[in-house]
Structure 1
Amino acid sequence: MADLVYRPVVGAALGLFKALDLKIDCQGAENIPRSGGAVLVSNHISYLDFIFAGLAALPQKRLVRFMAKESVFRHRISGPLMRGMKHIPVDRKQGEAAYKHALESLRSGEIVGVFPEATISESFTLKSFKSGAARLAQEAGVPLVPVALWGTQRLWTKGRPRNFRRSHIPVTIRVGEPVEAPADQYAGAITRRLRERVQGLLEDAQAAYPQRPAGPADSWWLPAHLGGTAPTVEELRESR
């Protein structure tokens, strides 16, 4: 499959990250298969997560086709790029077409990226996982590759302005060993096992993160259970 748009976009992103002097720490990239289909599953804390999760596959010379909400594909700037990179639009009211598209991509040997929390976690903790990723892996006969991202929320997340002026922000990426998805197992059980794996990777990424908030005003990006001021799940629920 020709990628006349994807690779230049990756090059531009890497150039921007170099200019910002982002401190990207990626470990476990060898767990991404060098060939064949796989479902890459990541936590979701930033609008930029698909870029950083995709970067984890570059050492294996793989490109990831991410499933993303359809509105992103209609945007005058992001739309042409998303379509050119052959990402997969998801209409949440009619998800069958996106599921079929993703399944065909997996069967043709592609890596499909999924955020099973569906939306950004404003508490920066792991939300419940939907079972679609596990069902895709089961039906396509491919493994699930768990990924955890940390630090991306400091660049651009829900409810906060973009922060592309501040340099030296660390971004930590952890890729875990593949999780098998046997066709004869209950998708819910596989999803629970997958979530546990991502949770463990997230805790590893947080423990390895080289910076702490500079003070109370800067602690918004740290979850409450780690001493930050990000809203808890309960507070978010009460505010809605």
Structure 2
Amino acid sequence: MAEFVYPPVIGAVRTLFKALDLRFDIQGSEHIPRQGGAVLVSNHIGYLDFAFCGLTALPSKRLVRFMAKESVFRHKISGPLMRGMKHIPVDRSQGEHAYAHALEALRSGEIIGVFPEATISPSFTLKTFKTGAARLAQEAGVPLLPMALWGTQRLWTKGRPRNLGRNHIPITMRVGEPMPADASEPVASITGRLRERVQELLESAQRAYPVRPKSPADTWWIPAHLGGTAPTPAQVKDRG
């Protein structure tokens, strides 16, 4: 089926990123298969993570269909674009419809993008992973593609103003090797292995990140366990 919306959107996004003079460090894109279904799984720290995750699939000439909350599809601007790019709306009260849609897409050879934390992590650490990604991969008989990104929270994240000036912000991304989701393995076990791998990739991206804060006031985007002033997971839970 012809793609009339996705390629122009990619072009616009790449133009925006160039205008912002973002500095990309992407490793592991070769792990994205050139054909066949797969579930791309990433941490979630900023509102633009969809666009960044999708960039990792471009060298393989693949388009990623992301599962996103339904409210994004109701927005007068993002809604038509999301539908045109064939992303999948998720109504949390009726999640089985989104699951069935994603499963059908995987079986037809699509790559489905999932943020298993289900929402942005204000602590910038990994939250508990929901089991949907593992279930999808297992039932469709496709691999999981773990990845992690870092630096996107500095552009636009929950509770912070947008920072979309020409500030040369580095964005670091790491894609791991495909992980099998064997039918004989419990979904909880697969999910545990997946989270461990995403954590490893996240730590790799953090170690490679070239920017260190110049003052204590600029440590809001760094997790507390790394010496930053982002809220701890416990503090986030207490607020929620």
| Shorter-chain TM-score above 0.5 | yes
Using the alignment, how far apart are the partners of 1:170 and 1:109 within structure 2?
Answer: 32
TM-score normalised to structure 2 length = 0.99
**Equivalent residue, structure 2, for 1:62:** 62
Instruction: Provide the C-alpha distance between the structure 1 equivalents of 2:60 and 2:92, rounded to a whole number of angstroms.
Output: 31
Partner residue of 1:29?
29
What percent of counterpart residues are identical?
75
**What is the Cα-based RMSD across aligned positions, in Å?**
0.7
- For residues 9-50 of structure 1, the C-alpha deviation after alignment (integer angstroms, 9 at most, x for no partner) is 000110111111100111000011110000000000001111
Cα separation, 1, equivalents of 2:118 and 2:238: 20
- Give, as a single letter, the amino acid of the residue that structure 2 aligns with 1:75: H
Counterpart residue number, 1:124: 124
Q: How does 1:144-223 map to 2 (within 5 A)?
A: 144-223=144-223
Deviation for aligned residue 1:238: 2.0
For residue 216 of structure 1, report the CA deviation from its aligned partner.
Answer: 1.1
Q: For the residues of structure 2 that align with 1:227 and 1:77, how far apart are their CA atoms?
A: 38
Confirm whether residue 96 of structure 1 aligns to residue 96 of structure 2: yes
What is the identity, as a one-letter code, of the residue corresponding to 2:84? G
Matches of 1:125 and 1:166, distance apart in 2: 26
Q: Residue 43 of structure 2 aligns with which residue? A: 43
What's 2:15 paired with?
15
In the comparison of the two structures, how many residue pairs are matched?
240
- Runs of at least 4 residues off by over 2 Å: none
- What residue identity is the alignment partner of 2:133? A
Deviations 1:152-175 (A, max 9, x none): 000000001111014200000100
With normalisation by structure 1, the TM-score equals 0.99
Secondary structure of 2:213 counterpart: coil
Q: Secondary structure at the match of 2:189?
A: helix
The Cα of 1:189 is off from its aligned counterpart by: 0.2
Deviations along 1:90-127, one digit per CA (max 9) or x if unpaired, are 00000010000000000000000000000100000011
Structure 1 segments unaligned to the other structure (5+ residues):
none
